[in-house]
Structure 1
Amino acid sequence: MSNPSLVLNKIDDISFEEYDSPVIDTPYDVIVEVKKTGICGSDIHYYAHGKIGPFLLTKPMVLGHESAGIVSQVGSSVTGLKVGDNVCIEPGLPSRLSDEYKSGKYNLCPHMAFAATPNSTEGEPNPPGTLCKYYKCPEDFLVKLPSHISLELGALVEPLSVGVHASKLAKISLGDNVIVFGAGPVGMLAAASAKSFGASNVLIVDIFDDKLAMAKKIGVATHTFNSKTEGNVDELLAKFEGHHPTVVLECTGAGPCINMGIAALAPGGRYVQVGNAPGPVSFPITEFATKELTMHGSFRYGYNDYKTGVAILDKNYKNGKENAPIDFEALITHRFKFKDAIKAYDLVRGGNGCVKCIIDGPE
């Protein structure tokens, strides 16, 4: 069976290719017919620069890792899924032998095969991405979607799980006041996670008023702040109307945002670094120490984060779209057929007001 795929060959070079479809090798394998895939900023970074940190593109790679689809085949020992089920795909497979996997931090596994992320091992192919017709995945890295959660929303579970992971690290609970830096897809979904975990107030910081307006409109932010036009940390705290920030989720990696986040936090607060920086940044270590802040790095997502993301969507839409507290679907601003996937990548690369772009699976 043919498996049409979207392939990044090198910088500025994407093409459609035909590969053999994956086959079931173990009793726990599942074949998913991919129906919806979101474009991630990392995809665009590989497209434009050919690398992210230590991950260097040296051979062709199937793109895509934010996907949902329909189960088309199951292995003989699969019990939790059946043909026809709608699922979202957790796209990173750790080594089952690593210490990180055994200790419950499989997202830190040094042997992780993550979809659409270059493999540096000489002679080994890159892990397959999900922008294809058929994708193979172990049963335990698939999560069944409730009947009222669309496949498009299923494709949002991947970036939503990044926010879930950060919220868990920050131990967000009822009564917390949270600041999120960055109103891109990850920042928006981190804010949505914080609200879902019980945060009383969520302020989003960005430099674009249209993004901040969207954050309020769709229900992920109670407050917003434009750090370019509205001033410094004192003005930020005034805009937060006396709510003392107990948590910062920093989703930009920008030095000024990192410094503002530390300055804004209440003593004893919790800080989670979600966004990546292009290099070293200055850090207010004295204020961090004297406030006795707690800081966490955050990398992708781990055990149960995907299931939590699906549960957030399930609860949000349980009374119908018209009564949903958060309009997750509004984040999907552009949609493309698979045959127009290269146009979709060029659109996202160019900006053009795109928040989240979804590509249909091959016909």
Structure 2
Amino acid sequence: MNSSLPTEMRASVLHAAGDVRLETRALPAVEPGQVLVKIAAVGVCGSDVHYFHEGRIGSFIVDAPMILGHESAGTIVAVGTGVPADRIGERVSIEPQRACRRCEQCKRGRYNLCPDMEFYATPPIDGAFAEYAVIEADYAFAIPDTMSFEAAALCEPLSVGIWSNQKAGVGPGSAVLIAGAGPIGIIIAQVARAFGATSIIVSDPVAERREVALRFGATEVIDPIAQDIATLNLGVDAFIDASGAEPAIRAGIFAVAPAGSVVLVGMGADDQRLPVSRIQNLELNVTGVFRYANTWPLAIELVSTGAVDLDDLVTSRFDLDGVTDALAAATHPDTLKVIVAPGAGTR
């Protein structure tokens, strides 16, 4: 370890639902093949908010103190054995996972489905609401000097948008319907545009969010309260749900043309009713999305070329002292992305 580094760091630690504390922790040890990153920016995700309020997500239960935050970026300040020393000083975007690399899913390239995955801010793995974090060296991706740390951190939700569009088969000339104009829905719309979709329809019951969708790539917006999407005969090639709401999912399935794709991204109830006969009769391809795999190089390219705008998604910023406020701000309807900047002043 670099002798000029501190031995301790500040971290925002979740102890139980509603209980986040700013603490001093030992600097993480850097194992062989890993890098230590001084964290510059962390995006607040809906999962962070859910863990804060509920103390769990499905079978993942916070039963010991854990650092939240998995959308992160910063500068490499130390490297483990086997990692070139010239990576120190490199600005990086972090893919916040560590696959086993040995299981059948990993060997088939589906490492996001690795049963032994270690993922930032998923119990018991610590995340990045801290001054420093460690990650496998090949999950720390160099970014150009022109890319902000905030955009680099948001390459994580951008990867969800990339994976969703890839699963949906979106390409030049595609028509796609997206339910939900929250942060992920907006990013999915931007990626669809970057992939060449010519009709990008976004539905959301909130007027302000529909306006945002139009600014970020939507060619048309729909108020699902005022219009029944299931009866509009949209005939889209793909429907991507970023809401998790059963009515939106059912309506979206009725908007898809024969042999089209349905991709479920939003997290809703564990069990929902689907129009199975329509799925069968139209041979619709229905799939889910669980994180992503091999998306970071494309994410960085989309941002660095201006095809996707992540900087303008940031609506508020906080430091480690303000993590509780950041988690609250993320639930506001006029919020897109909240950033926690360790060491920075609250803004």
TM-score normalised by the chain length of structure 1? 0.89
SS of the residue corresponding to residue 69 of structure 1 reads strand
Give runs of aligned pairs for residues 61-100 of structure 1, distance below 5 A: 61-79=66-84, 82-100=87-105
CA 236–153 in structure 1, closer or farther in 2 if over 3 Å, else same: farther
Query: Which residue does 2:26 correspond to in 1?
Result: 20
Cα distance between partner residues in 2 of 1:287 and 1:331: 36
Contact 1:166 1:272 in 2 (8 A): yes
Q: 2:316 aligns with which of 325, 328, 334?
A: 334
* Structure 2 residue 315 is the aligned partner of structure 1 residue 309: no
1:295-328 Cα deviation digits (max 9, x unpaired): 12110111x2122111111121xxxxxxxx6543
Contact 1:37 1:131 in 2 (8 A): yes
* Structure 2 residue 12 is the aligned partner of structure 1 residue 3: no
SS of the residue corresponding to residue 155 of structure 2 reads helix
1:72-100 Cα deviation digits (max 9, x unpaired): 11234324961221111111111222222
Query: Which residue does 2:275 correspond to in 1?
Result: 284
SS of the residue corresponding to residue 149 of structure 1 reads coil
Query: Which residue does 1:250 correspond to in 2?
Result: 241
Query: Which residue does 2:129 correspond to in 1?
Result: 131
* Structure 2 residue 341 is the aligned partner of structure 1 residue 360: yes
Q: 1:171 aligns with which of 150, 169, 175?
A: 169
The CA deviation at 1:341 is: 2.1
RMSD: 1.6
The CA deviation at 1:161 is: 0.4
Contact 1:178 1:203 in 2 (8 A): yes
Cα distance between partner residues in 1 of 2:168 and 2:151: 25
* Structure 2 residue 216 is the aligned partner of structure 1 residue 234: no
Cα distance between partner residues in 2 of 1:355 and 1:29: 32
Query: Which residue does 2:256 correspond to in 1?
Result: 265
1:173-201 Cα deviation digits (max 9, x unpaired): 11111111111111111111111111112
Query: Which residue does 2:3 correspond to in 1?
Result: none
Out of 337-346 and 268-277, give the one that drifted further.
337-346
SS of the residue corresponding to residue 127 of structure 1 reads coil
Query: Which residue does 2:64 correspond to in 1?
Result: 59
* Structure 2 residue 141 is the aligned partner of structure 1 residue 143: yes
Q: 2:219 aligns with which of 214, 222, 226?
A: 222
Contact 1:251 1:275 in 2 (8 A): yes
Equivalent position amino acid for 1:358 in 2: I
Taking every aligned residue pair, what percent have the same amino acid on both sides? 32
Cα distance between partner residues in 2 of 1:25 and 1:336: 30
1:207-227 Cα deviation digits (max 9, x unpaired): 10101101112x321111110
* Structure 2 residue 106 is the aligned partner of structure 1 residue 101: yes
CA 80–297 in structure 1, closer or farther in 2 if over 3 Å, else same: farther
1:338-357 Cα deviation digits (max 9, x unpaired): 222222123324x2522110
SS of the residue corresponding to residue 210 of structure 2 reads helix
Contact 1:3 1:132 in 2 (8 A): yes
* Structure 2 residue 325 is the aligned partner of structure 1 residue 343: yes
The CA deviation at 1:24 is: 2.2
Cα distance between partner residues in 2 of 1:281 and 1:153: 35
Out of 268-277 and 337-346, give the one that drifted further.
337-346
1:18-45 Cα deviation digits (max 9, x unpaired): 111112220x211100000011000111
Query: Which residue does 1:122 correspond to in 2?
Result: none
Give runs of aligned pairs for residues 176-191 of structure 1, distance below 5 A: 176-191=174-189
* Structure 2 residue 185 is the aligned partner of structure 1 residue 193: no
Cα distance between partner residues in 2 of 1:183 and 1:74: 40
Contact 1:339 1:362 in 2 (8 A): no
TM-score normalised by the chain length of structure 2? 0.93
Cα distance between partner residues in 2 of 1:94 and 1:68: 19
SS of the residue corresponding to residue 158 of structure 1 reads helix
